[in-house]
Amino acid sequence: MTMIGWFQIILFCVVIVALTKPLGWYMTRVFGGERTFLSPLLRPIEAGIYRISGVDERREQHWLTYTIAVLLFHVGGFLVIYGVMRLQAALPFNPVGQGAVAEDLSFNTAMSFITNTNWQNYGGESTLSYLTQMVGLTHQNFLSAATGIALAMALIRGFSRASVRTVGNFWVDVTRCTLYVLLPICVVYTLFLVWQGMPQTLGDYVEATTLEGAKQTIAVGPVASQVAIKMLGTNGGGFFNANAAHPFENPTALSNFVQMLSIFTLGAALTNVFGRMVGNQRQGWAILSVMGVLFLAGVAVTYWAEANGTSTLQALGLTGGNMEGKEVRFGIVASSLFAVITTAASCGAVNAMHDSFTALGGMIPLINIELGEIIVGGVGAGMYGMLLFVILAIFVAGLMVGRTPEYVGKKIEAREVKMAMLAILVLPLMILGWTAVAVVYPAAVASMANAGPHGFTEVLYAYTSAAGNNGSAFAGLTGNTFFYNLTLASAMFVGRFFMIVPAMAIAGSLAAKKSIPPSLGTFPTTGGLFIGLVVGVILIIGGLTFFPALALGPIVEHLAMNAGNLF
Partner 1 sequence: MDTTKLQKRAAVSAMLDPKIVMPAIRASFTKLDPRLMIKNPVMFVVEIVAALTTVIFLRDLVTGGAGLGFTFQIIVWLWFTVLFANFAEAVAEGRGKAQAETLRKTRTESQAKLLSGAGRDYKLVPGTSLTVGDLVLVEAGDTIPSDGEVVEGVASVNEAAITGESAPVIRESGGDRSAVTGGTQVLSDWIRVRITAAQGSTFIDRMIKLVEGAERQKTPNEIALNILLAGLTIIFVFATVTIPSYAVYAGGSISVIVLVALFVTLIPTTIGALLSAIGIAGMDRLVRFNVLAMSGRAVEAAGDVDTLLLDKTGTITLGNRQATAFRPVRGVTEQELADAAQLASLADETPEGRSIVVLAKEKHGIRGRDMAELGATFIPFTAQTRMSGVDAGGSSVRKGAVDAMLNYIGGGAPAAVASGNTARAMQPAALSELGREIQAIADDVSKSGGTPLAVARDGKLLGIVQLKDIVKGGIRERFAELRRMGIRTIMITGDNPMTAAAIAAEAGVDDFLAQATPEDKLKLIRDEQAKGKLVAMCGDGTNDAPALAQADVGVAMNTGTQAAREAGNMVDLDSNPTKLIEVVEIGKQLLMTRGALTTFSIANDVAKYFAIIPAMFLAFYPQLNVLNVMNLSSPQSAILSAIIFNALVIIALIPLALKGVAYRAVGAGALLRRNLLIYGLGGIVIPFIGIKAIDLVVVALHLA
Binding site for partner 1 (CB under 8 A): 162, 392, 395-404, 409, 412-414, 416-418, 421-422, 424-425, 428-429, 432-433, 435-437, 439-440, 445, 452-453, 456, 514-517, 519-524, 527, 529, 532-533, 536-537, 540-541, 544-549, 551-552, 555-556, 559-560, 562-563
The distance of closest approach from Cβ of residue 335 to partner 1 in the complex, given in angstroms and rounded to an integer, is 27
Q: What CA–CA distance (Å, rounded) separates 496 from 491?
A: 8
**Nearer residue to partner 1 within complex by CB, 105 or 505:** 505
The distance of closest approach from Cβ of residue 532 to partner 1 in the complex, given in angstroms and rounded to an integer, is 8
Exposure of 306 in the CB half-sphere (CA atoms within 13 A): 33
The distance of closest approach from Cβ of residue 454 to partner 1 in the complex, given in angstroms and rounded to an integer, is 12
**Nearer residue to partner 1 within complex by CB, 236 or 453:** 453
- Element (DSSP H or E) covering residue 206: strand 206-209
The distance of closest approach from Cβ of residue 287 to partner 1 in the complex, given in angstroms and rounded to an integer, is 18
**Nearer residue to partner 1 within complex by CB, 52 or 563:** 563
Residue 487 CA to its chain's centroid (Å): 20
Q: Around Cβ 396, how many Cβ atoms within 10 Å?
A: 17
Between the alpha carbon of residue 200 and those of residues 219, 252, 442, the distances in Å are 11, 16, 43
**Nearer residue to partner 1 within complex by CB, 183 or 396:** 396
The distance of closest approach from Cβ of residue 446 to partner 1 in the complex, given in angstroms and rounded to an integer, is 13
Instruction: Tell me if 274 sits within 8 A of 159, measured CB to CB.
Output: yes
**Nearer residue to partner 1 within complex by CB, 106 or 457:** 457
Instruction: Tell me if 93 sits within 8 A of 109, measured CB to CB.
Output: no
The distance of closest approach from Cβ of residue 563 to partner 1 in the complex, given in angstroms and rounded to an integer, is 6
DSSP 3-state percent helix, strand, coil across the chain (nearest 5) = 65, 5, 30
**Nearer residue to partner 1 within complex by CB, 70 or 388:** 388
Conformation bin of residue 301: beta by default, left when phi > 0, alpha when psi is -120 to 50: alpha
The distance of closest approach from Cβ of residue 430 to partner 1 in the complex, given in angstroms and rounded to an integer, is 9
**Nearer residue to partner 1 within complex by CB, 203 or 528:** 528
The distance of closest approach from Cβ of residue 40 to partner 1 in the complex, given in angstroms and rounded to an integer, is 40
Q: What is the three-class DSSP state of 215?
A: strand
Q: What is the three-class DSSP state of 442?
A: helix
**Nearer residue to partner 1 within complex by CB, 64 or 551:** 551
Instruction: Tell me if 157 sits within 8 A of 515, measured CB to CB.
Output: no
Instruction: Tell me if 124 sits within 8 A of 226, measured CB to CB.
Output: no
